[in-house]
Structure 1
Amino acid sequence: MPAPRAPGRTRTQILDAAIALVAERGHAGVTMQGVADAAGVDKALLHYYFTNKAGLLAATVDQLGQRLLTGVEAAVAGLDDPSLVVEIGYGALWDHAVDEPALHAAWLSLYAASITTPELAEAVAAVRARYRAMVATRLDAMLAAGWQTVLSHGATVTMVVATIDGFTLALLDGGRTAELDEAIAAMQRMIAALIVRPAP
């Protein structure tokens, strides 16, 4: 008789299958049966854990947020030097995008879909808020350490988030190239230069 599956592991297995299918087909191409087949479980389990496709996709967004942001948050925790925050934070985000492009493809697919799909909007907004809060927390730490921003606080956070989104999309579209690496390095220097020590 086979050993019973751990409920937490089975749920994670389902979400991993959903992420892979979203990355491959987009959210519109994902069905409950398709995810059940990919995860190797009965479709009834998906209804037990998530109720319906909207619930499954919302949980998929949350899982993506955990997997995309947890490592970066840990990498920059406690840093307040702009050059280190930019180097380590951008580096961690970029390494993750290069190492796990399917996760980022799934995230960008669901992010784009949330604009016209109300049942995704709340889950995506929560991940976006966590993403912005991570950047804002590091910026606040730099300001507390005596640095100043050339741009407003909100504009600085928006610039960092938008450039990461754009570079990730460029990576997924055209692969990693020398030109893309050069552009990222230049953007890192530009962002670091926007955080300065006040004149004495």
Structure 2
Amino acid sequence: MTDPDVDPPKGARPVGRRAGESGTREDILDAALTLFAERGFDGASMRAIADAAGVDPALIRHFFTDKPSLFAAAMAAHSEIPQRMAEAVSGDPGQLGRRVAEAYLTLWDDAELGPVLQGLVRSAVTSEHGGELVAEALFSQMSKVPEVAAAPPEATRGVALAGAHLMGVALARNVLGLSAFTGMSREELVEAVAPSIQRYLSPLVERRASNDDGPGA
């Protein structure tokens, strides 16, 4: 048993959390989201996240099996992004494409969430697995909405297509700064892309209409 009054040997690495820091799961998620946004998926190492959270790297693996799991958990638990996208599904089916486009593009203009999204999308273009992880993080909550989850495969594909389209627009406007996109207001962009997003999501709209017209409607 180690005597708490005896100093550890020089060069020994302290085990567990640092003194004075909480070392909780929430601290890890906060640190992870910040570093993923700043450095991208590949650039944010597990050790760097542990240092930022003030914990031993082993504690991260206690809560999360690997970095993709940590990324998904950080996005789901410590970001409003997935929830806002899920909320956009509710409402008039005829305006679904406009609502989804508006919700997504509005996130990029948010003072707090915009920089996070920029960092995450940079992950998508610089990491072998970043694109898939970011798309899953942004649109997974939409797929969990009951009417989407119960929809046929073509509706799920439509959600993926809508996500890819919107991510491309955001990449061109907010990361690459292409003049054709930066010269348009958010409202103009929504007007331009909403019909395509509506078309991608048409199987979902048709399913909702069918349910509304079914027995007991």
Structure 1 residues 133 and 44, CA gap change in structure 2 (3 angstroms): closer
Deviations 1:117-153 (A, max 9, x none): 5xx8996685477266369946x99xxxxxxxxxx75
- For 2:136 and 2:157, the matched residues in 1 are separated by 20
* Superposition TM-score, scaled by structure 1 size: 0.63
* Structure 2 residue corresponding to 1:133, chosen from 139, 143, 148: 143
- For 1:174 and 1:124, the matched residues in 2 are separated by 20
Structure 2 residue runs of 5 or longer lacking an equivalent are 1-18, 207-217
* Structure 1 residue corresponding to 2:163, chosen from 161, 164, 172: 161
* Structure 2 residue corresponding to 1:71, chosen from 68, 72, 84: 84
Task: Map residues 111-190 of structure 1 onto 2, 5 A cutoff.
Answer: 111-112=124-125, 116-117=128-129, 127=137, 130=140, 133=143, 137=147, 153=155, 156-170=158-172, 171-174=174-177, 177-179=182-184, 181=186, 182-190=188-196
| Structure 1 residue 166 displacement after superposition | 0.9
SS at match of 2:184: helix
Deviations 1:156-196 (A, max 9, x none): 44442222111221223329834263333211145447869
Kindly name which structure, 1 or 2, has the bigger radius of gyration based on alpha carbons.
2
Deviations 1:43-95 (A, max 9, x none): 343243235xxx13422123314532112212433x24322x22322222222
Task: Map residues 1-200 of structure 1 onto 2, 5 A cutoff.
Answer: 5=22, 10-50=24-64, 55-65=66-76, 67=79, 68-77=81-90, 79-83=91-95, 85-99=96-110, 100-112=113-125, 116-117=128-129, 127=137, 130=140, 133=143, 137=147, 153=155, 156-170=158-172, 171-174=174-177, 177-179=182-184, 181=186, 182-192=188-198
* Superposition TM-score, scaled by structure 2 size: 0.59
- For 1:124 and 1:19, the matched residues in 2 are separated by 12
Check whether the contact 1:22–1:109 (CA below 8 A) recurs between aligned residues. Answer: no
| Structure 1 residue 29 displacement after superposition | 2.0
Query: RMSD of the TM alignment (CA)?
Result: 4.2
Higher helix share: 1
